[in-house]
Amino acid sequence: MRELFELCGADPELVFSPYCWRVRLALAHKGLDWQSRPTRFTDKELIAFSGQKLVPVLIDEGETVHDSLAIFAYLDQRYPQRPLLGGALAAERARLVERLSFHMVRVPLLKMLIPRVWQVIDPADREYFRSSREKALGMSLEAFADPQGGERLFREGVAPLEMWLRDQPFLEGQASGGCDYLLAGMLFWAWCLGAQPWAEDSALGAWFARILQTYEATHGPVKRAAIHLEENQ
Amino acid sequence: MRELFELCGADPELVFSPYCWRVRLALAHKGLDWQSRPTRFTDKELIAFSGQKLVPVLIDEGETVHDSLAIFAYLDQRYPQRPLLGGALAAERARLVERLSFHMVRVPLLKMLIPRVWQVIDPADREYFRSSREKALGMSLEAFADPQGGERLFREGVAPLEMWLRDQPFLEGQASGGCDYLLAGMLFWAWCLGAQPWAEDSALGAWFARILQTYEATHGPVKRAAIHLEENQ
């Protein structure tokens, strides 16, 4: 059986990592089943077999692959139907789209979502979450987090995507593809943590709803956290 | 003979339109020659045969094509060597990269370059330039132009491209391709107007220098405007 090691909260059914969501969407796109292996931030021994410390990790037919883009490439090679990255030129451009859209949405969402991640993770994960993120950010979580500012930056950042999606239902055209999932994973991060910085009636909101609905039609309802943030958090 | 109608300044050799530069770079990439047809903003009768009012317009083998992306697609179809856009998936992603990178650099450069465009164009073009741009921008040229602010926005906007180009010589990998020219056209706009908002020793600067050098090696020196802007302009 195919196994996907993916980040979870204190509730093992709450999967919120954007990179793990990319892989879920990619597997669903290919029509492949998998068994979820919920993995907490500090469950490093669970994925030690992969030779590194980060999820997602996929075990498929005896192969172990980590990193969302590497998993996309692996899936295309092993299961050529419905390409995610496609040929060399298309794949290179998917990586470039990923880099550009990542820059537009990742930092804004991180500013928004830090207090929510803090609430949903297992208390035993909090020290790891704080120290790893503070090292990467070069400042305290409290100094970096800014839910209102992050939401404003997100709306500014997605403006070109919003315009693009007014002309066609998916980033890739008439059907969803690799670039859609690379970006949608980021929005699932917010969604599963109970946030929604896009307007329901925006083109981006309609695009996300299409991807969510397609996923839920085959895989059941997506678990969202019920979070009550205190004022000024 | 292949003819390219392209925007020029009062000096017909000064070609600075980003969209026309895209086409020059695309033709050079394919190894195709062309005859330049310098066209001022108000030379609308020169391109009336194309059924619309904007350059670039390419006449090739009796075909007339306008719009830089449409010209890329035409060139790929007519001259399949060294694809610019490539197959359907790659082409769709090139358009998406164009949209995202355009958003990052076009408005910042426009804020920077308006006073320079004003200086280089034929005085007879100034009324057209002012009224067409003020209508599109919804404000006066003076209210929109902001060379220092535009330069700061440009540097922020290209940050993800800068990181991308630290890992590989071209946006498309080891060789330049369609996405490189779509973006480089924007930088030629600044370059030909005597501006250079990127640092020489940045990865973006080195990338632009590679594209410029390759072009000049086969097509001779690129004409730049010598502009002296007054303080606070």
Residues B50-65: tens digit of each pLDDT: 999 999 999 999 999 9
Q: Could you count the other beta carbons within 10 Å of the beta carbon of residue A96? A: 24
- pLDDT of A187 strictly over 60: yes
Most A-contacting residue of B29, B89, B155 (CB-CB within 10 A), to test interface: B89
| Average confidence (pLDDT) over A72-100 | 97
| Average confidence (pLDDT) over B75-99 | 97
Q: Which residues of B touch A160 (CB under 8 A)?
A: 99-100, 102-103
pLDDT at B188: 98
Q: Residue B100 and residue A99: Cβ atoms within 8 Å?
A: no
For residue B98, give the chain A residue with the closest CA: A97
Average pLDDT, chain B: 96
Encode pLDDT of A107-132 as tens digits.
999 999 999 999 999 999 999 999 99
- pLDDT category at A229 given cuts 50, 70, 90 is confident
- pLDDT of A1 strictly over 90: no
User: Distance between CA atoms of B140 and A112, rounded to whole angstroms?
Assistant: 36
- pLDDT of A137 strictly over 70: yes
Q: Which residues of B touch A173 (CB under 8 A)?
A: 92
CATH 1.20.1050.10 intervals, chain A: 88-217
Q: Could you count the other beta carbons within 10 Å of the beta carbon of residue B14? A: 18
Encode pLDDT of A91-112 as tens digits.
999 999 999 999 899 999 999 9
Q: Could you count the other beta carbons within 10 Å of the beta carbon of residue A2? A: 12
Q: Does B172 touch chain A (CB under 8 A)?
A: yes
pLDDT at B230: 64
Q: Could you count the other beta carbons within 10 Å of the beta carbon of residue B169? A: 15
Kindly tell me the sign of the dihedral angle through the C-alpha atoms of B69, B72, B77, B81.
Answer: negative
Instruction: For residue B36, give the H/E element and its range.
Output: strand B35-39
With pLDDT > 70 as the criterion, what percentage of chain A qualifies? 98
| Average confidence (pLDDT) over B66-90 | 97
Q: What secondary structure does DSSP assign to A165-208, as a single string? A: HHHSSBTTBSS--HHHHHHHHHHHHHHHTT---S-TTSHHHHHH
pLDDT at A77: 98
| In CATH, A3-78 is 3.30.1330.10 | no
For residue A90, give the chain B residue with the closest CA: B90
Q: Residue B172 and residue A89: Cβ atoms within 8 Å?
A: yes
- pLDDT of A183 strictly over 90: yes
In CATH, the number for domain B1-233 is 1.20.1050.130
In CATH, the number for domain A88-217 is 1.20.1050.10
Q: Does B149 touch chain A (CB under 8 A)?
A: no
pLDDT at B229: 73
Q: Which residues of B touch A86 (CB under 8 A)?
A: 87, 89-90
pLDDT at A233: 44
pLDDT at B233: 44
CATH 3.40.30.10 intervals, chain A: 3-78
Min Cα–Cα distance to chain B from A150, Å: 17
pLDDT at B228: 75
Residue whose C-alpha is closest to residue B120's, from B210, B41, B18: B41
With pLDDT > 90 as the criterion, what percentage of chain B qualifies? 95
Encode pLDDT of B99-138 as tens digits.
999 989 999 999 999 999 999 999 999 999 999 999 999 9
User: Distance between CA atoms of B86 and B76, rounded to whole angstroms?
Assistant: 7
- Average the pLDDT over each of A19-33, A133-147, A219-233, B107-121 and give the range with the smallest value: A219-233
pLDDT at B232: 45
- pLDDT category at A64 given cuts 50, 70, 90 is very high
Q: Does B166 touch chain A (CB under 8 A)?
A: no
Most B-contacting residue of A72, A84, A96, A162 (CB-CB within 10 A), to test interface: A96
Q: Which residues of B touch A159 (CB under 8 A)?
A: 103
pLDDT at A175: 97
Q: Which residues of B touch A108 (CB under 8 A)?
A: none
Buried b (16+ CB within 10 A) or exposed e, B29-57: bbeeebeebbbbbebeeebeebeeeebbb
User: Distance between CA atoms of B134 and B154, rounded to whole angstroms?
Assistant: 21
The percent helix, strand, coil of chain B (3-state, each to 5) is: 60, 10, 35
Q: Does A212 touch chain B (CB under 8 A)?
A: no
Q: Does A183 touch chain B (CB under 8 A)?
A: no
Encode pLDDT of A46-63 as tens digits.
999 999 999 999 999 999
Q: Does A69 touch chain B (CB under 8 A)?
A: no
| Average confidence (pLDDT) over A206-222 | 98
Most B-contacting residue of A29, A69, A89, A204 (CB-CB within 10 A), to test interface: A89
- pLDDT of B231 strictly over 70: no
List Cβ neighbours of B148 (8 Å cut-off, separation of 6 or more).
none
Contact call for residues B201 and B166 (beta carbons, < 8 A): no
Encode pLDDT of B130-161 as tens digits.
999 999 999 999 999 999 999 999 999 999 99
Residue whose C-alpha is closest to residue A225's, from A7, A10, A51: A10
For residue A83, give the chain B residue with the closest CA: B89
Please give the span between the terminal C-alpha atoms of chain B, in angstroms, as a whole number.
42
pLDDT at A230: 64
Q: Residue A164 and residue B99: Cβ atoms within 8 Å?
A: yes
Min Cα–Cα distance to chain B from A75, Å: 17
With pLDDT > 70 as the criterion, what percentage of chain B qualifies? 98
For residue B167, give the chain A residue with the closest CA: A96
| Average confidence (pLDDT) over B68-74 | 98
| Average confidence (pLDDT) over A162-168 | 97
